[in-house]
Amino acid sequence: MKFAVIVFPGSNCDEDLYKAINLYTDEDVEYVNYKETSLEKFDAVLIPGGFSYGDYLRSGALAKFAPIMKAIKEFAKEKKPIVGICNGFQILTEAGLLPGSLIRNEKMQFVCDTVDLNVVNKDTKFTSKYAGKETIQLPVAHGEGNYYCDEETLNKLKKNKQIVFTYKENVNGSVDNIAGITNEDGNILGMMPHPERAMDALFGGVDGIHLFKSLINNR
């Protein structure tokens, strides 16, 4: 399986994602610059956290116009797996590839911590290696991680089992404690917590590795 790690101006978790694949799996991984226009040789796309384009206007609002986004949308249409983490999640919502939006944290403060998450749906290609109804720990680091959607969209997310992760304690004000969702087809995951920062017990935990192993197992 060959992974693409998209690099935008201002990305700062791209190296973390690269090393998560390179050091902890047997799969191939390659950086892809935001100016590229093709993802033909890749099997999965990872969109990292950071501050793409300095978070001007809104987080992810400018990144959606980058040349690579056309290829990402084509990738999505082919139902190939895409994971957007933190700023990557924001980019996916801004681009219309996931419903809802990410707004300023409820207390208007940047949150940087390790948090408890509920694995709400393990029957996805991103979570099959987790136990059902499992509680895991992953780091968060964001100022605009407050997931918002209207009631109709929330009901649709629940009905289609698109809510994948929720916060055990709501750290940012997200509706229904939502920390991660998929699209209706189940091939796109957006999440605010950072699984790529929980790959080794030496650095505080290993709960993130199961997300990538799930994806590889469901290739």
Residue positions annotated with a catalytic role? 86, 194, 196
The partner residues of 136 in beta bridges, in order of sequence, read 117
User: What's 131's DSSP letter?
Assistant: P
d(CA 38, CA 17): 20
Which two structure tokens, joined as six digits, stand for 195?
A: 């699984």
Contact (Cβ atoms closer than 8 angstroms) between residue 6 and residue 47: yes
Neighbours of 113 (CB within 10 A): 8
Q: In a 3-state reduction of DSSP, which class is residue 3?
A: strand
Shortest CA distance to 111 belongs to which of 145, 149, 60, 85?
145
Geometric angle at alpha carbon 51, from 47 and 54, rounded to 5°: 135
